[in-house]
Amino acid sequence: MTRADDTGPGHEVRDIVDDLERKVERERDERDVPGSRSDREDVEPVDTGDDAPD
């Protein structure tokens, strides 16, 4: 049985992915993290001071 408002398989998955992408974008904006890969490549690495022991 198919309803008139069905958009096909994967519709719910697309909604979940879209929601997650919006969440990541909001978090990047809040932390001032550059959004695109090319932007992130130009950022200096963060030294966490959490180096492995010798």
Prediction pTM value: 0.46
Burial of residue 45 (CB within 10 Å: 0-12, 13-18, 19+) is exposed
- Looking at residue 16, its pLDDT comes to 92
pLDDT per residue as tens digits for the range 30-54: 887 766 666 666 777 778 888 888 7
- Looking at residue 35, its pLDDT comes to 63
pLDDT per residue as tens digits for the range 2-23: 455 556 777 789 899 999 988 9
